[in-house]
Structures are given as structure tokens and as C-alpha cells.
């Protein structure tokens, strides 16, 4: 038996095996584009950077993105080590279950599904508002935002059921488009020597710059912008040589996302001028159009035509993110059905080996989350987008923390990997960094969602409530997992089910 990944008697390359996602479908770049699309780069830059600068640490915001990248990288080291021993579309909950037991793993599954569906619903809100405004502006036809959202749900469902390769191709086009214009702007600004005050390296990356103002707020928004990188492990079953592909894709994703946000935000600071950037960002927020802080210098650099292109790219950026989170969520539903925690019907695959039933259920969940805001006449940006983005980030940070703890426990118990840095030191440091981030999010949650304290409180409480509900469901449904030929674990000391030996101890 391979010391790192054990497989069931069924061949890992037999795509006809019942209950298995299509293997050998994605390489490093394919997975990378799914991750980058989930990041929605233009949305992250246009939405988060102005806030991080205005109410965070001003010109020092780029340093916050580097710090966030370090925290995520430390988390990733243990995450990748676990991924070499556990390959499953459930990723987070499978990892947590291996280390902390079936009940905790199942509770985390509910949190993961909640996080992905919430952030997708948030994106639907902003997407619907953006498309409605674009059509109104260019065609003079007003159609309510929720109509465009429902139409897009049908398209997303179709693409999700068309196979992972089709989704990867669509996302590649959209991600390259939004990345290209931002990177070209940043590079042109760099080679021109920066804006009115020069490049201002010290103004953005010195210790003084990083710690000025409210660095905790900037770090919170920086970490929030990285949500979605962990999707690399979700596609492990569909990856070519997952033991190599998933680690490479994970580290590459962290490096690319960190570098992109730090570099682009730095060039935006430079374009406005370090001494003026906080005021400029504040004016953009006060005007109700935070994107103007980003779009204005890009338009000034390349001409007025860019002002027409950028809103369209914002819409495609959101669409790419919506599709990516649809794929992530339906794979969670598929995996939960396979483990017996949800109805077995969720494991149904179409001829393209896509979990089509899980996809339909995910779309129904999206409708259930989005439509109440339409029926009640709520602003899709100020409520749906802001509220669900905040709660999704909080849920994701809880998952990161539990995963880091599970990694430490799993390797201490099984001895499957004895590398101290990978299985103890880095996960501990990552857990501490994530715990600090959770504290910052809770303390500044009202700011994060742009709402009132009462709304912030009940939104925060939904996360532990979902975790507890998942634990209760696990206690009540102790059905055996569906037997499939999927790679799951990498040590004889670990049982061959999707959850770990801690479950055996827990269930005695």
C-alpha cells in the first residue's frame, strides 16, 4: 500500500465506477482557474480594497494583503499534508471528521455548505443589480435585478451539469479577461514609476504603514478576499494525479491570489498618491459607488472606453464566482449523500459524471436564499450581498480553524506523516492567525456587513447554529456511507471510510 494514499479495490481511474466523480479531468491550471474565479478578482479589488483603505490602514492596505497571504499559506501547509492522505469532494468536513470525529465533521459539513451557498447568494445579489443597471444604461430597458438572477441560475445549472471541463473552459475566459485588465493597469503604473507621489514602496509596506490606522480592519477584508482558495481539495477526485496536482494547485493559488491583491492594491495606492488615497477611498464610499475608486484611475490610464468595459467585466467576474461556488456546493452535497448524511439520491451522476441532482438541489437552495429579498423589496447590494458575504467569510474562517486543529490531531494520532513543520508548527501558527482573524471579524462584523448591530448579531449566530445542527443530524443519522471506489486515506492506522478513526472512538 502506498504510504500516502490508499485506494479501494476499484481502480481510481475507472470513470464508470458508480458514485464517483469523473477522474483525470483537471490539471493544475484547471483547478487554479476554478479557485481564481471563486475569488472574483475584479469584485474583490473593486469591493474590498476601497473599504480596507478608507477605514483600515490607508496606504498600508497592500501590506495587509501580504499578511493575509502568510496566514493562508501557513494554513495551506497542513491542509496540503492532509490532502495527501484524504482525497474526497467533501474536503473540509472530511478532513475535520478524520481528526475531530464524525459529529464534528458533519457539523462542519453544514457550515461549509452554508458558507458556499451564502457567498453564492451574495454574488447573485450584486450580479443581478449590476446586470440590471447595465441593461438599463445601454438598452434603456428596466428589468428587476431578480429576473436576471433567476435567468442566470438556469444558465449556471446547465453549465454545472455539462461537465467539469466545460465549466473550466468558461471560467478560464472570464478570469483571464478581468485579470488581464487589472494586471496590465498595475504593470503600466509600475513601469511609469507610479502616480503623482511615485511608487511609494515604504508608504505601503513599511512597518509604520502596515500598523497605522486600523490594521485589523484591513486584515479582515484582505482575508475575506481570499475566500475560495481551499476549493483545490474539493476537485481532488477529478484531478489528474491528485497527490501532486492538488498541492501544486493549492500553493500556486495562494501565491497568485496574494501577489495579485497585494500588487494591484499597491498600484492603486500609488495611482491616487499615498497621502491622498484614504480620502479618495472615503469619498468613493460616501458617494455610494466604491468601484469608482478603482475604475477612475484605470479609465484615466487607458481612456474612456475602459469605463464602459469595466462594469461588464464586473458582471462576468461575478458570474464566474457564482459558477465556481455552484460547483463547490454541489460537490459537498454529492459527498454528503455518498456518506449517508443526506439522501443517497444526491449521488446521481449524469453521463458527463457531473452530480446533476446535487446541482439542482444547490440551485433550489440559491432560489430559497435570494427570492425572499426580492419579495420583500430589499436592496440586493446593501442587504443580500453585504449580509451573506459577511456571514460566509465568518463561516469559512471557522472551517479553516477547525481544519488546522484536525490536521494536528490526525497526524499526532496516526503518525501518517512525521514532518514537524508540516503537521504541527505550521498548522499551529495558521490556527493562531485564523483565530485572530475570527476575533477581528466578530469585533468588526457590523462594518463588514454594512448594517446595524442587531442584524450583525443574528447573522453571526447563524454560523454556530448551523454547526450545532449538523452535529445533531450526525447523531441522529448514523447510517453507513455508500460504498464507492474512491481514494480516501493514506495509512493502515486509519479506517477506510470517509471519516476517521476518531469516529470509531466516538461511536463506541
Per-residue pLDDT of the chain (508 residues; tens, 9 = 90+): 333 333 333 333 333 344 565 665 667 777 777 777 777 788 889 888 998 899 889 999 999 999 999 999 999 999 888 877 776 655 677 889 888 888 888 889 889 899 989 999 999 998 999 999 999 988 889 999 999 999 999 999 988 887 655 555 666 777 788 888 999 999 999 999 988 999 999 999 999 999 888 888 888 888 878 877 766 766 666 667 777 787 888 888 889 889 999 999 999 999 999 999 999 998 988 887 888 899 999 999 998 888 888 899 889 888 888 988 898 888 888 888 887 778 888 888 888 777 889 999 999 999 999 999 999 999 898 889 889 988 998 999 999 999 999 999 999 998 888 889 999 999 999 999 999 989 988 888 887 787 788 888 999 999 999 999 888 877 877 655 444 444 343 333 333 333 344 444 444 4
List the one residue out of 477, 422, 106 whose CA is nearest residue 95.
106
* Among candidate residues 100, 52, 61, 46, the one with its CA nearest the CA of residue 398: 100
Pairwise CA distance, residues 101 & 247, whole Å: 24
Residues 236 and 88 sit within 8 Å (Cβ to Cβ): yes
DSSP string over 413-466:
HH-S---HIIIIIHHHHHHHHHHHHHHHHHHTHHHHHTS-HHHHHHHHHHHHHH
The radius of gyration computed from the CA coordinates of the chain, to the nearest angstrom, equals 22
Task: Report the greatest alpha carbon distance in the chain.
Answer: 69
Q: How far apart are the first and last CA of the chain?
A: 28
Contact 386, 51 (CB under 8 A): no
Query: From residue 226, how far is each of 256, 301, 396, 442, 468 by CA, in Å?
Result: 11, 27, 10, 18, 26
Amino acid at each position: 500500500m502506498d504510504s500516502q494514499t490508499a485506494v479501494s479495490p476499484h481502480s481510481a481511474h475507472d470513470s464508470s465506477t458508480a458514485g464517483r466523480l469523473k477522474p483525470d479531468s483537471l490539471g493544475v491550471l484547471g483547478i487554479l482557474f476554478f479557485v481564481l474565479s471563486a475569488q472574483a478578482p475584479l469584485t474583490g479589488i473593486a469591493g474590498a480594497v476601497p473599504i480596507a483603505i478608507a477605514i483600515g490602514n490607508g496606504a498600508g492596505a497592500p501590506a495587509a494583503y501580504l499578511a493575509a497571504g502568510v496566514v493562508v499559506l501557513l494554513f495551506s501547509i497542513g491542509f496540503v499534508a492532509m490532502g495527501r492522505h484524504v482525497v474526497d469532494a467533501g474536503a473540509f468536513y472530511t478532513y475535520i471528521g478524520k481528526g475531530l470525529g464524525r459529529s464534528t465533521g458533519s457539523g462542519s459539513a453544514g457550515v461549509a455548505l452554508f458558507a458556499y451557498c451564502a457567498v453564492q447568494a451574495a454574488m447573485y445579489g450584486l450580479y443581478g443589480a449590476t446586470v440590471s443597471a447595465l441593461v438599463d444604461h445601454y438598452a434603456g430597458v428596466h428589468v428587476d435585478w431578480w429576473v436576471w438572477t433567476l435567468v442566470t441560475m438556469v444558465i449556471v445549472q446547465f453549465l454545472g451539469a455539462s461537465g467539469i471541463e466545460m465549466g473550466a473552459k468558461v471560467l478560464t475566459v472570464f478570469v483571464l479577461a478581468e485579470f488581464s485588465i487589472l494586471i496590465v493597469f498595475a504593470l503600466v503604473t509600475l513601469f511609469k514609476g507610479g502616480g503623482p507621489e511615485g511608487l511609494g514602496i515604504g508608504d505601503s509596506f513599511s512597518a509604520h504603514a502596515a500598523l497605522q490606522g486600523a490594521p485589523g480592519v484591513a486584515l479582515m477584508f484582505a482575508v475575506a478576499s481570499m475566500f475560495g482558495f481551499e476549493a483545490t481539495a474539493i476537485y481532488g477526485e477529478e484531478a489528474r494525479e491528485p497527490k501532486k496536482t492538488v498541492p501544486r494547485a493549492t500553493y500556486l493559488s495562494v501565491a497568485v491570489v496574494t501577489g495579485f491583491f497585494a500588487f494591484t492594491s499597491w498600484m492603486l495606492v500609488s495611482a491616487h498618491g499615498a497621502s491622498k488615497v484614504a480620502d479618495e477611498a472615503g469619498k468613493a464610499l460616501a458617494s455610494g459607488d466604491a468601484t469608482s475608486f478603482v475604475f477612475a484611475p484605470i479609465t484615466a490610464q487607458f481612456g474612456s472606453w475602459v469605463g464602459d468595459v469595466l462594469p461588464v467585466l464586473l458582471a462576468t467576474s461575478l458570474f464566474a464566482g457564482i459558477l465556481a461556488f455552484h460547483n463547490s456546493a454541489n460537490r459537498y452535497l454529492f459527498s454528503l449523500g455518498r456518506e449517508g448524511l443526506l439522501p443517497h439520491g444526491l449521488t446521481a451522476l449524469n453521463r458527463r459524471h457531473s452530480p446533476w441532482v446535487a446541482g439542482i438541489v444547490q440551485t433550489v437552495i440559491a432560489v430559497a436564499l435570494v427570492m425572499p429579498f426580492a419579495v420583500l423589496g430589499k436592496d440586493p447590494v446593501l442587504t443580500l450581498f453585504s449580509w451573506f458575504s459577511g456571514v460566509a467569510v465568518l463561516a469559512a474562517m471557522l472551517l479553516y480553524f477547525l481544519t488546522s486543529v484536525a490536521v494536528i490531531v490526525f497526524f499526532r494520532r496516526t503518525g501518517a506523516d512525521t514532518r514537524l513543520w508540516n503537521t504541527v508548527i505550521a498548522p499551529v501558527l495558521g490556527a493562531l492567525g485564523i483565530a485572530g482573524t475570527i476575533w477581528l471579524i466578530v469585533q468588526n462584523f457590523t462594518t463588514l456587513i454594512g448594517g446595524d448591530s442587531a442584524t450583525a448579531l443574528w447573522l453571526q449566530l447563524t454560523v454556530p447554529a448551523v454547526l450545532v445542527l449538523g452535529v445533531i443530524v450526525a447523531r441522529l443519522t448514523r447510517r453507513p456511507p455508500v460504498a464507492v471506489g474512491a481514494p480516501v486515506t493514506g495509512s493502515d492506522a486509519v479506517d477506510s471510510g470517509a471519516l476517521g478513526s476518531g469516529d470509531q472512538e466516538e461511536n463506541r
